[in-house]
Amino acid sequence: MREYDWLADHGLDEAFCLTFVRDPDDTAVLCRFGVDPASLQSLTGVDDIAELPFEHVVVAGRLDGWVFVLEENGFEGSRPEVLRAVSAGTEAVSVYTNVNANRRFGHAVDGVLRTGFDPSSPVRRWGDAPDALVPLMRQVGLPVSGDGGWSGAGLDAGLRLADVITGVHLDGARLAGPLTTGRLVPLLSDPPERPTWMLREDAELLTAITSAPPDLLRRVVAAEARRRADGAGISGEPVVAEALAEIDRGGGRTVPDNSGLGRLLRELGYRSDIAGTSLALPTQRGRMTDAERRQAFARHSAGLAVQAALFPDQVRAAYEVLGWVAPARDPDRVARRAQLLAELRG
């Protein structure tokens, strides 16, 4: 799409996420997006992103009543959790692609994902109103029915569709500034709707989870969440201790992103991302020792277990809290799996 050729000029054409939010305030949008408010800062232009100390590069700017959020090699704007947050009381559109040509288009209104699809295979759609955009999809050349084959229009048509829905267009010249950026601390993920593929491969454990009496399952999940929090050294955090006590009492709730517990869990995830990057990129290895990386991964995993143990649906909680032992290959995991099976069977 010639109108977006400028993405290649900035090295963004192969992996980016572009999100538009109908809102006049770019700082408010970034905060709902997951950016730490204390880290917000101005940029004179997109070329300055190379100097940013952040793990996730995200920049935003105002555009005729809308705010655009551009992520370099990022995907946050494609997540349902983020689209719900930024579209609350308004409207949002996002277009995402990565180096593996995994693509996603999303349109959310008033905190609800109305339409989502892969721009390369747009006949399969999801959301509360999966067919709401069909006339506009046809207008930009996206097939809306048929055998589900690959669409040659793909990403270009997805970008055109975003322009049509919003009535605005992000030109490369707009990236000369002014822009706003900050440290992205990703929003918490929704409870898993289904078990991971690894847990699905472990029919014995999955059956034990789904057939356990509710009270027994709750106790097993609570005990495992506490065990992992203790092992990772986070159970002494006041907000974690409070959550574990609530779990022991049988309480269930969703953890708000900006609650004390939510902020801690997000920071643990951020630290885990740093550990992952330092492990994957040889140039980043010196940022952490192996012990620091192991600690970051363990603390994040334990935090996810505490969050999941609070889910009102205990089966979905168990997918996250107990499913880590599948597949059981190393001795510690094999032993823990056997213990969990015994506990689930009473």
* Nearby residues of 86 by Cβ (< 8 Å), 6 or more positions away: 19, 21, 23, 29, 32, 33, 69, 77, 92, 108
* Nearby residues of 229 by Cβ (< 8 Å), 6 or more positions away: 235, 240, 244, 302, 303, 305, 306
SS3 of 118, please?
strand
Q: How confident is the model at residue 322 (pLDDT cuts 50, 70, 90)?
A: very high
- The pLDDT of 193-222, averaged and rounded, is 95
Q: What is the largest CA-CA distance in the chain?
A: 65
Contact 106, 129 (CB under 8 A): no
Average of per-residue pLDDT values in the chain:
91
Is residue 151 over pLDDT 70? no
More confident call, 144 vs 248: 248
Contact 95, 108 (CB under 8 A): no
- The pLDDT of 282-311, averaged and rounded, is 91
Is residue 344 over pLDDT 70? yes
Contact 31, 37 (CB under 8 A): yes
- As a whole number of angstroms, the distance between CA 207 and CA 291 comes to 36
- As a whole number of angstroms, the distance between CA 247 and CA 253 comes to 10
Here the tokens at position 266 are 């997000």
Which pLDDT score is estimated for 16? 93
SS3 of 66, please?
strand
* Nearby residues of 135 by Cβ (< 8 Å), 6 or more positions away: none
Of how many residues is the chain composed? 346
Q: How confident is the model at residue 301 (pLDDT cuts 50, 70, 90)?
A: very high
- Read off the pLDDT of residues 82-136 as tens digits, 9 standing for 90 and up: 999 999 999 999 999 998 889 999 999 999 999 999 998 999 999 999 999 999 9
- Read off the pLDDT of residues 262-275 as tens digits, 9 standing for 90 and up: 999 999 999 999 89
Which pLDDT score is estimated for 5? 83
Q: How confident is the model at residue 147 (pLDDT cuts 50, 70, 90)?
A: low
Contact 58, 182 (CB under 8 A): yes
- Read off the pLDDT of residues 238-247 as tens digits, 9 standing for 90 and up: 999 999 999 9
Q: How confident is the model at residue 1 (pLDDT cuts 50, 70, 90)?
A: low
Which pLDDT score is estimated for 327? 76
Helix, strand, coil abundance in the chain, percent, nearest 5: 50, 15, 35
- As a whole number of angstroms, the distance between CA 325 and CA 183 comes to 33
Is residue 10 over pLDDT 80? no
Contact 19, 93 (CB under 8 A): yes
Which pLDDT score is estimated for 282? 77
Is residue 152 over pLDDT 80? no
pTM of the model: 0.90
Among candidate residues 80, 333, 298, the one with its CA nearest the CA of residue 193: 80
Which pLDDT score is estimated for 317? 95
Name the E strands within 75-170. 91-97, 103-109, 112-118, 121-126
Which pLDDT score is estimated for 296? 95
- As a whole number of angstroms, the distance between CA 305 and CA 317 comes to 8
Contact 258, 187 (CB under 8 A): no
Burial 230-257 (b: 16+ CB within 10 A, else e): eebebbebebbeebbebbeeeeeeebeb
Which pLDDT score is estimated for 294? 94
Element (H, E) at 280: helix 260-280
SS3 of 34, please?
coil
Is residue 50 over pLDDT 70? no
Q: How confident is the model at residue 193 (pLDDT cuts 50, 70, 90)?
A: confident
Here the tokens at position 17 are 């996420």
Which pLDDT score is estimated for 72? 86
- The pLDDT of 227-253, averaged and rounded, is 96
Which pLDDT score is estimated for 318? 96
Which pLDDT score is estimated for 153? 61
Which pLDDT score is estimated for 106? 98
